[in-house]
Amino acid sequence: MSGRTVALSDLLGRPVRDADGRKIGRIEELHAEIALEREGNDYVVTRFSVGHFKSFDVIASGNFVQQLVRRIARATGYRRYEIPWDLMDLSDPAHPRALRREDELPRTR
């Protein structure tokens, strides 16, 4: 029942390590949805986007820019992971850890 509170901006940009301790990127985004089991408007985080840019959202979601960035990203070996909340260990919010190895983590195409 240990409820810790962490600020969103303290999570964004934090380096994430995989189960082997290798750095796989930084938290770029948190995706949240309304939790259907509970009453009311409770939003819970369903997954974390982890990549090499500190905050990918700085480059907005426009088509042209995104395609340009994706091409550059692919060329430079950029990878983005979509880590479900239950595969992310936030017991130490300053040092988030994925509970799987890098090659086992879901990726964005």
Which one, 41 or 76, has the nearer CB to other proteins?
41
Q: Does 104 bind other proteins (CB under 8 A)?
A: no
- Other C-beta atoms closer than 10 Å to the C-beta of 53 total 16
CB of 27 to other proteins, least distance (A): 9
d(CA 84, CA 105): 9
Distance CA 46, CA 32 (A): 5
Does residue number 93 form part of the binding site for other proteins (CB under 8 A)?
yes
Q: Is 99 in the site for other proteins (CB under 8 A)?
A: no
Residue with tokens 């940009």: 13
Whole-number Cα distances in Å, 91 to 6, 17, 66, 95, 108 = 11, 13, 33, 8, 25
Min CB(70)–other proteins separation in Å: 13
Rounded to the nearest whole angstrom, what is the least distance from the CB of residue 8 to other proteins in the complex?
Answer: 4
Between 23 and 62, how does the x/- string for binding to other proteins read (CB under 8 A)? Answer: -----xxxxxxxx----xxxxxxx--------x-xxxxxx
Residues 87, 9: Cα–Cα separation, whole Å: 21
- Per CB under 8 A, residues contacting other proteins are 1-9, 11-12, 28-35, 40-46, 55, 57-65, 85-86, 90-91, 93
